[in-house]
A and B are shown apart, each in its own frame.
Chain A
Amino acid sequence: MHKFEHLPDYWSRDEELLNSVPDNLPVEVEDIVYRKNLSFMEDDPIWDIVVVIPDSSDLKMSDWALLHKFRNKLMDIIFPRDWDRFPMVSFKSISEAKKEYGFS
């Protein structure tokens, strides 16, 4: 795992999400972080969950069946923590996560 040492304000991680990673994913999970946020443009409250994967990941359409099963599991964990906040999960490579969210 390549856990980021520095997360910008409002981002955090917790063991429950990290421990939910199954063994059969087609890609390594480096980190999982989340924050309370607002959706783009519509300003709805959301859970913004980022699953960090290696830069070299070459995902194919067939890989998304398992990735979505995992995504749904993450949603099921986090949604009950605040039912008014819609869970949004995105898969980002390490360099995308650094660039888009400022993790380091």
Chain B
Amino acid sequence: MALADELLFHAEKLIKVSEDSLPSQADLRRSVSASYYSVFHLLLSEGADLLLKNPEIEAVRELAQRSVTHSQMKNVCMYLAKPYQGLPEKLRRFAPEPNPAEIMLIAKSFGNLQALRLKADYQIKWEITNNVAQDAVYDAKEVFSNWQLLKTSRPEAALRFVSILLFFDRYQN
């Protein structure tokens, strides 16, 4: 099982309510974090697969996947959550037109998940609830399904999307 799938599975497992126990605050916080990281690794690993000719060379994959920071991905997702007309001028030539609904949904979910992950990991006084963790797991699942849909129905848009994710924040024009 790929790391992204494992993390999503783990996120869901952590918040399962059993007959004799409820998820603890630690379980819920780790679940939100795992939901976010499942999406983070899904997009980077799929991005490397699409962009590299020899993704089986582990070091090359790693180079691609580790060349992007969380804040770079968030910045790009802030742009891509909008329709094509709302994109910055210098991004338009790289983005698919129109910007597919799947990309806008993935971008919105990524922004939400990253913000939730930061709160879950660092805002100690925030009492996290099962609903928040379920919301995050569902968000991650939506990213997985929207990515599959995009990849199969709009392969060129998928390629443009991952290229922007991996490179645009450092693009100098």
Interface residues in chain A, defined as those with a beta carbon under 8 Å from any beta carbon in chain B: 39-42, 44, 46, 57, 59-61, 64-65, 67-68, 72, 75, 79-80, 83, 86-91, 93, 96, 99-100
Q: Are A40 and B119 in contact (CB under 8 A)?
A: yes
Interface of B is mostly: helix
Q: What's the Cα separation between A41 and B115 when bound, in Å?
A: 9
Q: What's the Cα separation between A87 and B119 when bound, in Å?
A: 16
Closest 3 pairs between A and B when the two form their complex, measured CB to CB: A64-B138, A41-B118, A40-B119
**Does B69 touch A at the CB level, under 8 Å?**
no
In the complex, the chain A residue whose C-beta lies closest to that of B122 is: A41
**Does B131 touch A at the CB level, under 8 Å?**
yes
- With A59-B131, A72-B105, A96-B129 as known contacts, state yes or no: A42 contacts B115, CB within 8 Å: yes
Chain A residues contacting B25 (CB-CB under 8 Å) are none
CB < 8 Å A-B pair total: 61
Interface residues in chain B, defined as those with a beta carbon under 8 Å from any beta carbon in chain A: 12, 71, 74, 78, 81-82, 86, 105, 108, 111-112, 115, 118-119, 122-123, 126-127, 129-132, 134-135, 137-139, 142
In the complex, the chain B residue whose C-beta lies closest to that of A83 is: B86
24 A-B contacts (beta carbon < 8 Å): A39-B115, A40-B119, A40-B123, A42-B71, A42-B74, A42-B115, A46-B115, A61-B134, A64-B134, A64-B135, A64-B138, A72-B108, A75-B108, A79-B81, A79-B82, A83-B82, A83-B86, A86-B78, A87-B108, A88-B111, A90-B132, A91-B135, A93-B129, A99-B127
Chain A residues contacting B134 (CB-CB under 8 Å) are 59-61, 64
B131 interface neighbour in A72, A87, A91, Cβ under 8 Å: A91
- Smallest Cβ distance from A46 to chain B, in angstroms? 8
In the complex, the chain A residue whose C-beta lies closest to that of B120 is: A40
Q: Are B78 and A44 in contact (CB under 8 A)?
A: yes
- With A86-B78, A86-B111, A88-B112 as known contacts, state yes or no: A40 contacts B138, CB within 8 Å: no
Q: What's the Cα separation between A93 and B126 when bound, in Å?
A: 14
- Smallest Cβ distance from A34 to chain B, in angstroms? 15
